[in-house]
Structure 1
Amino acid sequence: MYSDQEIEIMGFLPAPDEYFTGKAWVKNYVFPDAETDAYVGEVMFAPGTRNNWHTHGSNQILLIREGVCYYQEEGGPVQQIEAGGFVNILPGIKHWHGASPDSVMIHTAIGINAEKGLVNWMDPVSDEDYNGK
């Protein structure tokens, strides 16, 4: 795990607690505006941290930079995606993502067609769902 000083030097800021179980940090690169209809940023998840169930109005693309990403779509199994892998999440798919229990995970998140809505937050992910039970 990175120290608080290392996280600050890397440019990450604390993520909103209400959308995560555990500790997470965000670093934003591109916000939607009149010319760029997309969002690009990174999220760092402490070991065992995951975000709430949510959907997107358009595709979200996750590029896994470090660690192992746990990813689940509603009704499906928990998938483990290694660093260097990616997920293309289709519009309206209820899902969550987070870090494996034993390592930090960092992903780059790309939200396209932001005018369709970036994220619709829902309920926290249960320990049972996180553990694939």
Structure 2
Amino acid sequence: MRLIKKFCLIAVIGLLSSYSLMAQNEIFPKGEKAPNVYHTGDVWLNHLADADENFDFNVVQATMAAGSKLNWHLHPKGQQLYITDGVGYYQQKGKEVQVVKKGDVIKCDPEVEHWHAATPKTPVTYIAISGNAPTKWTDTITAETYNAIKAPELSNKDTEEDMIEVSKKKWEWMADKDADKLEDLFHEKSQFVHMGGSWGKDREVEVIRSGGIHYKKADIHEVSADIIGNTAIVSSRITLLAVVGGNEVTNPFIATEVYVKEGNEWKLANLSFVKQLSSPNED
């Protein structure tokens, strides 16, 4: 019987893992909003599977809004967390705070006090598999403690949302002709592909500084980001108003930016413009 239970648990984990790798749409509904008894902020729970006489564990999906956090607690029979979306915090008593992200798995041994939360700026969703025993709630996490967390992984801009913000800042610096900030952002070996040719960092910085090309305004209609190891790709559908050689021109583009991570910083390695045949519909 114990072997059968272990096999079934593995099957459940495998099924849930395969779900998390499917399309970005939600696989399970968010569930019901939980009353604020042992947490602060907004948390939704969906009880996917309850323990019974054959299966001695519960399976729950939790969705935590940005800024929400659980109190300190422990599980008499342990718990495993499968992060399916977003970015959050996890901490065991006496250890440093961990930043957890989509794809991470956290194992918490029985009777080990811990807490988990969303970050102040990002929600997090996870599936919790817990032994069938009541959770023991202990101390609260104060706002001062939560807000004082310094998470280097977050400040390093490791999330898709943060990379989109980096891209938006770049367009702002281009509009402002802030060549100094752009020079710091551009990788030493960066390449820029325009309709009229391609060149490297030094020429791009000089073109912006001198006003040879003024990226006056980029209206962003759609944008997405993907992170693959130490490489980030940001794709944008834009309408670009630019001044080229003293002439103002407007063109619809697909702009693709490739960033590479060096140490704790992301550097723009490539920026390419592909002109669209027709103007995008404005949002």
TM-score scaled by length of structure 2:
0.41
| Pick aligned residue for 1:66 from 60, 71, 85 | 85
SS, match of residue 129 in structure 1: helix
- Displacement over 4 Å in runs of 4+: none
Give the Å deviation of 1:31.
0.9
Q: Does 1:35 align with 2:31?
A: no
Is the Cα contact below 8 Å between 2:30 and 2:44 reproduced in 1?
no
User: Which runs of 5 or more structure 2 residues have no equivalent in the other structure?
Assistant: 1-25, 151-283
- Quick one: which amino acid aligns to residue 125 of structure 1? I
Superimposed CA distance per residue, residues 11-36 of structure 1 (whole angstroms, 9 cap, x where no aligned partner): 41011311111110100011111111
Q: Distance in 2 between matches of 1:33 and 1:39?
A: 9
- Quick one: which amino acid aligns to residue 127 of structure 1? A
Q: Distance in 2 between matches of 1:106 and 1:60?
A: 16
Residue of structure 1 in register with 2:137 after alignment? 121
More helix per residue: 1 or 2? 2
Q: Does 1:84 align with 2:103?
A: yes
Residue of structure 2 in register with 1:53 after alignment? 72
Q: Distance in 2 between matches of 1:126 and 1:90?
A: 24
Identity of aligned residues (%): 33
Q: State which structure, 1 or 2, has the greater radius of gyration over its C-alpha atoms.
A: 2
Superimposed CA distance per residue, residues 40-65 of structure 1 (whole angstroms, 9 cap, x where no aligned partner): 01001010111110000112000001
> CA 1:108–1:129 in structure 2 vs 1: closer, same or farther (change >3 Å)?
same
SS, match of residue 44 in structure 2: strand
- Quick one: which amino acid aligns to residue 52 of structure 1? N
User: Which runs of 5 or more structure 1 residues have no equivalent in the other structure?
Assistant: 1-6
SS, match of residue 17 in structure 1: coil
**Higher RCO (CA < 8 A, seq sep 6+):** 1
SS, match of residue 67 in structure 1: strand
Query: How many residues end up aligned between the 2 structures?
Result: 123
Q: Distance in 1 between matches of 2:136 and 2:40?
A: 17
SS, match of residue 84 in structure 1: coil
Q: Does 1:96 align with 2:112?
A: no
Give the Å deviation of 1:105.
0.5
Q: State the superposition RMSD in angstroms.
A: 1.8
